[in-house]
């Protein structure tokens, strides 16, 4: 078990702590992100079929109407399978439904309903039963198991403070196995604003939360390790572990992480021969932003995930299969983690051919640096049944960004 798990009771789920209310019967009408991202249009090209997503969370209930037939609990190794299909909170089930829910029975509609979920219950604050805590796998054990599984994507809507070398090694191993990992940056921007681990680890894509207008939410932690952003406010969630009803007004980088993971699943399903590097690069290159391509924002990273822009372009160039699109940041993170054994460039972590424009590792845009949002917005155009609909602006200003050290 990691030092972090032992000392702090492990990670916490990355929900914002907003006060949700019980939602009306029509849950899917409140999933504004489906229209904003043109889910119906994307499903004509890809539903995520053939892609498996490992969800490391509070467990996943496979018996909700939206998840029946979607959860592959039998593929979880016995050594880390303790209560994987029992969700003590409702959080992990919500994330799984946002990724791959079918929407059956009026449940949450996943962005990638053709994908499948491989559930991992990890040690998170809230697991209070001593026997349960003892049997629940540590974060690094779950990562190692997921790395050896058939899941291509690892979604982690969890976070905690403190660096742990065993966790870094596990994540590095998962990267070597070709996994694409997403994690929530955290929801304490208005207090401590220290981006959570595992989002702050090398090879993990840190995901921030955006609202309906494409602006970063007030709670979404910002800074060194934000790589992408996705919808993460005013979405329905399961109220609790009784699974009797959904609650309205949920928010958090948890949701944005699940939706980013689903976005990757849509792309990988449409391009099964692509590598994790190519899937991620395509998301980065097509992200919605108001600043120049290749520069980053401390608030929205490379911008808002727009898988539609990848799926609608049959001739899109995903770049080299073996070149990490976050190589510069990840290399710095590895040097900090392994100072006596700095990694030499490899095909998947090759050094950039030229120095970055900014020695600090980032860039600035023309957007105002006096607030977290900007009036200068870029529109997403979702081509749905009603025709062209302008949705979600890409607010937030870009500031100098460098991968946070340990």
8: CB partners within 8 A, 6+ apart: 125, 160, 161, 162
Output the furthest CA–CA distance in the chain (Å, rounded): 59
3-state secondary structure of 248: strand
Would you tell me the crossing angle of helices 253-270 and 276-285 to the nearest 10 degrees?
A: 110
What does the domain layout of the chain look like in residue ranges? Answer: 3-391
Count CB neighbours of 49 within 10 A. Answer: 15
Assigned token pair, 354: 């030229």
pTM score of the predicted model: 0.83
| pLDDT, tens only, 48-97 | 999 999 999 999 999 999 999 999 999 999 999 999 999 999 999 999 99
Average pLDDT over the chain, rounded to an integer? 81
| pLDDT, tens only, 249-262 | 889 999 999 999 99
- Contact in structure between 237 and 250 (CB atoms under 8 Å): yes
Asked if the model's pLDDT at residue 135 lies above 70, the reply is yes
Q: Which residues pair with 160 in a beta bridge?
A: 197
Fold of 3-391: Rossmann fold (3.40.50)
What residues are annotated to the active site? 57, 91, 254
């Amino acid at each position: 078990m990691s030092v972090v798990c032992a000392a702090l009771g492990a990670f916490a789920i990355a929900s914002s702590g907003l006060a949700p209310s019980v939602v009306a019967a029509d849950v899917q009408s409140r999933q504004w992100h489906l229209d904003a991202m043109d889910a119906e249009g994307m499903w004509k090209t890809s539903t995520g079929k053939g892609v498996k997503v490992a969800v490391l969370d509070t467990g996943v209930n496979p018996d909700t109407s939206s998840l029946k037939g979607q959860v592959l609990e039998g593929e979880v190794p016995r050594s880390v399978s303790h209560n994987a299909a029992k969700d003590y909170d409702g959080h992990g089930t919500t994330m799984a439904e946002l990724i791959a829910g079918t929407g059956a029975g009026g449940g949450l509609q996943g962005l990638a309903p053709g994908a499948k979920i491989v559930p991992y219950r990890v040690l998170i604050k809230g697991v209070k039963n001593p026997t349960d805590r003892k049997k629940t796998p540590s974060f690094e054990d779950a990562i190692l198991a997921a790395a050896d599984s058939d899941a291509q994507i690892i979604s982690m809507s969890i976070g905690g403070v403190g660096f742990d070398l065993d966790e870094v090694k596990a994540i590095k191993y998962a990267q070597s196995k070709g996994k694409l990992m997403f994690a929530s940056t955290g929801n304490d921007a208005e207090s401590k604003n220290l981006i959570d681990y595992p989002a702050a680890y090398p090879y993990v894509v840190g995901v921030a939360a955006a609202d309906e207008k494409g602006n970063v939410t007030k709670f979404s932690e910002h800074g060194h390790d934000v790589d992408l952003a996705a919808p993460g406010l005013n979405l329905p969630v399961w109220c609790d572990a009784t699974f009797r009803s959904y609650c309205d007004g949920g928010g958090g980088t948890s949701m944005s992480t699940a939706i980013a993971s689903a976005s990757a699943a849509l792309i990988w399903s449409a391009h099964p021969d692509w590598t994790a590097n190519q899937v991620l690069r395509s998301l980065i290159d097509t992200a919605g932003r108001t600043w120049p391509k290749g520069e980053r924002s401390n608030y929205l990273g490379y911008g808002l995930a727009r898988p539609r822009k990848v799926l609608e372009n049959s001739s899109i160039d995903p770049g080299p299969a073996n070149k990490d699109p976050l190589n510069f940041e990840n290399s710095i993170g590895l040097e900090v983690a392994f100072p006596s054994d700095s990694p030499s460039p490899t095909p998947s972590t090759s050094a950039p051919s030229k120095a970055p424009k900014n020695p600090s590792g980032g860039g600035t845009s023309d957007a105002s640096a006096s607030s977290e949002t900007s009036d200068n917005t870029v529109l997403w155009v979702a081509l749905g049944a009603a025709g062209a609909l302008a949705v979600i602006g890409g607010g937030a200003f870009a500031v100098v960004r460098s991968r946070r050290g340990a």
